[in-house]
Structure 1
Amino acid sequence: MKNAEQVTFGGSALDRAGEIRSDPKALTEARQHPDARAILFWRGKVLISPERPSQLVRLPMDHAVLTEAEADPILLGREDGGPRFAFDLSPWVPEGLDEASLGAFLDPSEQRHPALPETMGFYELRRVMTWLSPRDAELAATGKAIIGWHDIHGFCAVCGAASDITHGGWQRTCPACNASHFPRTDPVVIMLITHGNSVLMGRSPGWPEGMYSLLAGFVEPGETLEAAVRREVFEEAGVPVGAVRYLASQPWPFPASLMFGCQGEALDDKITIDPVEIEDALWVSREDMMDVFAGNHPKLLPARKGAIAHFLLENWLADTLD
């Protein structure tokens, strides 16, 4: 697919500076580099300034707010030679915080730290992902995913001892048994399944009314992407799939997936859903999907902008999958 990397989080050729991660001296020098900058996160939200042309905030490394960060910063890479580090401010508790507003399907709340200008706030990444430039989106997705991995991997999976953050945040090392642990990304297939002039859509329980998307599911150990597509579609919708081809991928840091967009040809259009897996599935014609994207369909809402489902459907409608 020629325009595959135009998908949100699709990559911006960020220099990830992998060659210095295992070099403590080089990491120290990177933190002290005059062009080094900090990118802040709070409970998975990223600090942006919507009123600025470059919306992802990059703070100087000596900013006072960084003293409130949890654990060591994570080296994200370099921009024009300037190192970029992710800092996690999750220990900070905003005054009057409404915990119930956090973690919603699309969290609309914004948190502002008193040590930062009012123009800066912590925003849920799914809400703002389409606001960001490709570079800002890659930095934000990388920081959110790696911080999220550290949050749930604080102990050695071999012996159970508390592990240490090493290699610029890209490894955890156990001081008890010397085991090394590395960030994991879960492979997920998301499927543009077509039959004639129609595409297969489904919805999960709890989604907003009218919201449908492409079917998706995790790849199992020992399984190819093609096999995962056929298995997931048949399990969820009872539709057999023949030919399958890969189209594009998208890092999806919610919390740590890599979405493999594939196209598959349905061998039958009869749908038999598994109610444990999905709430509903249906075939949507190209003409109806054009109405959905235009906001004119009486029942269906378009897939969320920024998600690979929207990207694949948009290219299907434009006949630009090749």
Structure 2
Amino acid sequence: MKNAELVTFGNGGLDRAAEWRADSVNLRNRPDAKAVVLWRGKPLVQADALVKIPLDHPLLADAADEMILLGRSEGAPLFAADISGWVPQDLDLTTLDTFLDPTEQVHPALPDAAFRELRGIMTGLDRHDAEVAATAKAIMGWHRSHRFCARCGQESTMAMAGWQRDCAACGGHHFPRTDPVVIMLITHGNDVLLGRSPGWPEGMYSCLAGFVEPGETIEAAVRRETFEEAGVAVGRVSYLSSQPWPFPASLMFGCLGEALSTDLHIDPAEIEDARWVSREELAKAVTGQHPDILPARKGAIAHFLLENWLADRLE
């Protein structure tokens, strides 16, 4: 797929500067060092750009002591800081951690910027900022869920500028986890297979997807997941594109699969519904003219794959 890296969060050009990770303490003392800031996974943005602030900015008084080195930006160190311990005034707890939190939080030290849900802003960010935000959200999420050693259960500590956790009790080393997920564009002639999960916005349909299991190839996962969810047998499978997806920590492998039949046998434990949609119907859905189908969210790899299938740009 010639335009495979045009997917959101891909090909942003982030220089991860792995050679700097052993010296993050000294890097934090550089006057040109800056940080992007997250609150409960929401990046701090101003207009359509990530805010990058000096490490002596008053806002960082609320930040956790440990910062993660994301890489090198214009020759200078770029860190990620977490201020999830800060409690905004009038915080609405009912919307937090929902599929798409519409609320914004403003810190008094930077009143012209706001913390916003990444799903809602991902298509407005430029490629570099999108990759930086996705990286920061994913690595911070990993640290929150992996505080304790998987070998002995003792609390571990951050190492290598945030790209490792070490356990003093047993000597174990732990590294950021990314979960492989297949997301498949399953076609049969002029039709594509779409499904929906419970809890999605009403009418929203997308490509089927599922986690790759241990000992399984990507192709085998595509066939297994499609059959488990919709009862559709798949023949030839080919890779199209990938997308880092920090909700919370997946790498999506976009694949094209050729269905061997159109018979559907939906497993309600897996998905709520599945249906075959013609190219003409999908075109109406993408333009908002279909009576009961909403397309996959813009910015998601499913939308990217479906849009390119409509335009005959998969090869």
How does the TM-score come out when normalised to structure 1? 0.96
Cα distance between partner residues in 2 of 1:35 and 1:305: 35
Identity of aligned residues (%): 65
- 5 Å matches for 1:223-242? 223-242=216-235
Cα distance between partner residues in 1 of 2:65 and 2:75: 25
Q: Cα distance, 1:289 vs. partner?
A: 0.6
Please give the secondary structure, in 1, of the residue aligned with 2:176. coil
Equivalent position of 2:246 in the other structure: 253
* Counterpart selection for 1:88 from 78, 82, 87: 82
Matched, 1:47 2:44: yes
Cα distance between partner residues in 1 of 2:26 and 2:94: 42
Cα distance between partner residues in 1 of 2:276 and 2:52: 45
Cα distance between partner residues in 2 of 1:126 and 1:12: 17
Equivalent position of 2:173 in the other structure: 180
Can you give the 5+ residue segments of structure 2 that lack an aligned partner in the other structure?
none
Q: Cα distance, 1:157 vs. partner?
A: 0.9
Please give the secondary structure, in 2, of the residue aligned with 1:99. coil
- 5 Å matches for 1:60-99? 60-99=54-93
Equivalent position of 1:120 in the other structure: 113
Matched, 1:243 2:236: yes
Cα distance between partner residues in 2 of 1:91 and 1:299: 42
Cα distance between partner residues in 2 of 1:71 and 1:3: 40
Q: Which amino acid aligns with 1:107?
A: D
CA RMSD for the aligned pairs?
Answer: 0.9
Cα distance between partner residues in 1 of 2:89 and 2:261: 56
Matched, 1:311 2:304: yes
- 5 Å matches for 1:164-203? 164-203=157-196
Can you give the 5+ residue segments of structure 1 that lack an aligned partner in the other structure?
none
> Which piece of structure 1 moves more, 95-104 or 166-175?
95-104
How does the TM-score come out when normalised to structure 2? 0.98
Q: Cα distance, 1:313 vs. partner?
A: 0.3
Q: Cα distance, 1:28 vs. partner?
A: 2.7
Q: 1:59-83: CA deviations, max 9, x gaps?
A: 0111122121124000000112111
Structure 1 moving runs of 4+ over 4 Å: none
Cα distance between partner residues in 2 of 1:110 and 1:34: 30
Cα distance between partner residues in 2 of 1:14 and 1:33: 20
Q: Which amino acid aligns with 1:282?
A: R
Please give the secondary structure, in 1, of the residue aligned with 2:220. helix
